[in-house]
C-alpha cells in the first residue's frame, strides 16, 4: 500500500505539468456541467434570446419600460395619491389585458394541417 502511494507521488512529481493540466480540464468540465444544469433548471435558458434560433425575434424585445414608473413607498396618503395610483395601475393593466398571450391554437392539428379532415 505504502509502495503504491510512493509510486503515485513519484509519478506526480515526474509529470506534474501533465497532472496540473488534466486536473484543470476536469475541474472546468465539472464547473461547466453544474452551471449548464443551473442555466437550464432556473428558467434562464427560456429567457435567453441570444441563443441560436431566436435571431429573427431578438430585435423585437421591448427594452423600454420607461412609462412603468416605480411607485414610491414613501410619501403621504390622500385621495389624490390613491387616484394617481389607480390611474397608473389602470394604464399598465390595459396594456397587459390588450394582449391575449398564448391564446389561440397554433398547435392544433387543424392549424398545423395534420388533422384527419386535412386529408379530405
Partner 1 sequence: MTGFIAVVFVCGLSIMKIASAQSDQPSDAQIQLVQNNCLALKSTLNQLHASDALLRVNMGQLYESMAVKLMNGFNGRIENNNLNNISLVSETKNYNSILDNFRNDYRAYEEQLSSAINIDCQNHPVSFYNAISSARVARDKVHSDVLQLNQSIASYQSTVGQFESDYLLSLEGTVR
Helices (H), the chain: 2-14, 16-41, 44-47, 55-58, 79-97, 109-112
Judged by CB under 8 A, the chain residues 11 through 30 that form the site for partner 1 are: none
Long-range contacts of residues 6-12, Cβ cutoff 8 Å, at least 24 apart: none
Q: Is 79 in the site for partner 1 (CB under 8 A)?
A: yes
Q: How far is the CB of 27 from partner 1 (least distance, A)?
A: 29
- For helices 2-14 and 16-41, angle between their N-to-C axes, nearest 10 degrees: 90
Return the range that interacts with partner 1 (CB under 8 A); candidates 1-9, 19-27, 29-37, 73-81.
73-81
Segment near partner 1 (CB under 8 A); pick from 5-13, 18-26, 30-38, 78-86: 78-86
Q: Which of 2, 4, 47, 66 binds partner 1 (CB under 8 A)?
A: 47
CB-based contacts of 44: which residues, under 8 Å, 6+ apart? 38
CA distance 15 to 22: 11
Pick the binder of partner 1 from 2, 73, 80, 87 (CB under 8 A). Answer: 73
Q: Is residue 110 part of the contact set for partner 1 (CB under 8 A)?
A: no
Query: Is 61 one of the binding residues for partner 1 (CB under 8 A)?
Result: yes
Amino acid at each position: 500500500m505504502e509502495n503504491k502511494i510512493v509510486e503515485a507521488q513519484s509519478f506526480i512529481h515526474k509529470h506534474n505539468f501533465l497532472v496540473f493540466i488534466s486536473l484543470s480540464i476536469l475541474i472546468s468540465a465539472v464547473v461547466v456541467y453544474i452551471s449548464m444544469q443551473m442555466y437550464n433548471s432556473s428558467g434562464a435558458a427560456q429567457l435567453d434570446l441570444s441563443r441560436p434560433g431566436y435571431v429573427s425575434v431578438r430585435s423585437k424585445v421591448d427594452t423600454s419600460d420607461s412609462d412603468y414608473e416605480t411607485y414610491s413607498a414613501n410619501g403621504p396618503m390622500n385621495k389624490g395619491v390613491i387616484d394617481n395610483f389607480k390611474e397608473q395601475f389602470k394604464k399598465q393593466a390595459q396594456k397587459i389585458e390588450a394582449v391575449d398571450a398564448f391564446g389561440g391554437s397554433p398547435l392544433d392539428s387543424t392549424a398545423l394541417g395534420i388533422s384527419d379532415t386535412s386529408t379530405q
